[in-house]
Amino acid sequence: MVSAWADAPVVFPSIAPAGFCLQTLQISRPSKPAIQGLESLWQRGFSLRMSLLAGGSKAASLHWTGERAVSVLLLGLLPAAYLCPGPVVDYSLAAALTLHGHWGLGQVITDYVHGDVPIKVANTGLYILSALTFAGLCHFNYHDVGICKAVAMLWSL
């Protein structure tokens, strides 16, 4: 089946004005795909279903909703940090900022890190970075002035 498909001519429209014939150009295609994982796609003539590309699952939908909820929460926490600074807002900011950053960097890893071992190393590093970030912000809130007052002090410079 692959060899019959590989010998089929490819038809390109002519550059000539309308009313002229189409030109036929024979292009030789390789008989085997360059990437072994795409053999089934090659044999089906590269026809993909949208369901394969969409990948709709309940977990992904809930994760997307959670990301949006944290973003909206941050939009509400920023004015609250200015209007009524305190420990509750400081620790809420520490949690929301850490989670927001963790999910954002997770998407960067998903987009730009490839291969099983590098992905595992990058995800492990991300979890360590997120845990240290949250611990550092909580330590700063408990032993120092807190996130809200620190930002206010920066603004007063």
Express each pLDDT in 62-106 by its tens digit.
888 989 999 999 999 989 998 999 999 999 999 999 999 999 999
Domain ranges of the chain: 2-52, 57-155
What distance in Å separates the CA atoms of residue 46 and residue 26, rounded to the nearest whole number?
Answer: 19
82 is in an annotated binding site: no
Whether residue 19 is predicted with pLDDT greater than 60 in this model: the reply is no
112 is in an annotated binding site: yes
What would the mean pLDDT of 5-33 be, rounded to a whole number? 50
- How many other C-beta atoms are found inside a 10 Å radius of the C-beta of residue 119? 13
Region for residue 29 given its phi and psi (left: phi exceeds 0; alpha: psi -120 to 50; beta: otherwise): beta
Domain 57-155 = CATH 1.20.1300.10: yes
Whether residue 122 is predicted with pLDDT greater than 70 in this model: the reply is yes
DSSP result, 108-136: HHHHH--SHHHHHHHHHHHHHHHHHHHHH
What distance in Å separates the CA atoms of residue 35 and residue 101, rounded to the nearest whole number?
Answer: 35
The secondary structure of residue 44, as a DSSP letter, is T
Closest CA to 107 of 65, 76, 63, 73: 63
Whether residue 150 is predicted with pLDDT greater than 60 in this model: the reply is yes
- What pLDDT score does 149 carry? 94
- Residue 37 vs residues 32, 42, 70, 110, 132: alpha-carbon distances, Å: 11, 10, 38, 20, 39
- Tokens at residue 20, please? 């002229």
What distance in Å separates the CA atoms of residue 95 and residue 98, rounded to the nearest whole number?
Answer: 5
What would the mean pLDDT of 3-30 be, rounded to a whole number? 49
Nearest-5° angle of CA 113, CA 117, CA 120? 75
Express each pLDDT in 24-54 by its tens digit.
445 555 555 555 555 554 455 444 443 444 4
